[in-house]
Amino acid sequence: MSQLSQKHLLGIKDITRKDIELIFETARSFKEVINRPIKKVPSLRDITIANVFFENSTRTRLSFELAEKRLSADVINFSSSSSSVKKGETLLDTVNNILAMKVDMVVMRHSSPGAPHFLAKHIDANIVNAGDGTHEHPTQALLDTYSIMEKHGSVEGLKVAIIGDILHSRVAISNIFALQKLGAEVMVCGPNTLLPKYIASLGVKVELDVRKALQWCDVANILRIQLERQQIKYFPSLREYSLYYGVNKRMLDELDKEITIMHPGPINRGVELNSDVADSEHSIILEQVQNGVAVRMAVLYLLAGGK
C-alpha cells in the first residue's frame, strides 16, 4: 500500500506535490469504484474511524462518512452539540475517551484554527483536518483541484480566480496552496474589506473588479459570504454585495471565452452566484461533490497505509 509523506492530513501547506499527485491517482481508481453497481471495497475493513465534528456540517460530514463506508471501515459519529463538551469536557479529554475505544483515525472539524495540529501532538491516531476555523480545509482544496484537473486535463499553467469572502475562508487558503503546488496562477477577488492584509504575500494576484477577474481566469471558484464568522459589517448589505460581486449569466456572456465555474457549497443563490450560472453548462459544482467522495476515500486509504 502506498503512503503519504505525512502521518496526518492537517493542511495542504504540509504536504508535497508528490503527495497530491498520489492522492489524485488513487482517487481516480476510487471514482471508478463508486460508479460501479457494487460501490464497496474492503480496503479499510479492520480500521475504525471517528468523525469528530465541533462545528455544523452537512456536505463534508456526509462525504467523509460515505467515503469511510465505501472503504468498509467501522464508523463512529460524534457531534459536540449532543456530547459531554456541553458539560465542560476539554477537546483532549473528549478525543482520548474516543481513542480508548480503539479508534485508528480521527476526522475532525473545529472552530479554532490549529485544533487538529494540537491534537496531532498528543495522540497516536491519524488525524484528517475537515476544517479548522478560518485556517485550512485540505480535502476541499484537493477535491477542487482534482475537479479542475479532470475538466482541463492539467492544472499546470491554468489561471484560477477565487472570488468572494477570502478573509473568512479556509477553502481559499488551502486552494491557493494546492493550486500553486500544481503550477497554476492564482488570483483572489473581492471587496477590500474581505481580503486579508497578508494575501499578496502568498504570491497571488489581487483584483477588486469581478469582471476583470472573470476575464483573466480559466476557472472561477466562487465562495459564499460567511456571515456566521463575521463579527462586524464588512459591506452595507447582501443586495449591494450581489450587485457588485455576484456572478450572473450576463457577465459570462460578455466574456470572449468560456470559463469553468466552481463553488465549494453551500451556495447562497442570488448573492454570490445566480442560478442561471450555478446550473449552467459552465458549472462543475455537482462534479465537485462526486469527486469529494473519491478524494476522501483516497486520503483515508493512503493514511491507513502507515498502519
Whether the pTM exceeds 0.85: the reply is yes
Least reliable range by pLDDT among 52-56, 60-64, 182-186: 52-56
Confidence band of 83 (pLDDT split at 50, 70, 90): low
What is the mean predicted confidence (pLDDT) over 257-284?
Answer: 96
Is the pLDDT confidence value at 1 over 60? no
Which residues contribute to the annotated binding site for L-aspartate? Answer: 87, 170, 224
Which residues contribute to the annotated binding site for carbamoyl phosphate? Answer: 59-60, 109, 137, 140, 265-266
The number of CA neighbours under 13 Å toward the Cβ of 303 is: 28
d(CA 155, CA 178): 10
Percent of the chain at pLDDT > 70 equals 93
Q: CB within 8 A of 122, min separation 6: which ones?
A: 92
d(CA 11, CA 9): 6
Whether 158 contacts 184, CB under 8 Å: yes
Query: Residue 184 has what pLDDT?
Result: 98
Confidence band of 232 (pLDDT split at 50, 70, 90): low
Query: Which stretches within the chain are classed as H helix?
Result: 17-34, 59-70, 91-99, 115-120, 138-152, 170-181, 210-216, 238-245, 249-253, 275-278, 285-304
Query: Residue 88 has what pLDDT?
Result: 64
Query: Residue 235 has what pLDDT?
Result: 75
Place of cell 461533490: 289
Q: Would you tell me how many other CB atoms lie within 10 Å of the CB of residue 305? A: 13
List the grid coordinates of 150. 479532470
Whether 105 contacts 303, CB under 8 Å: yes
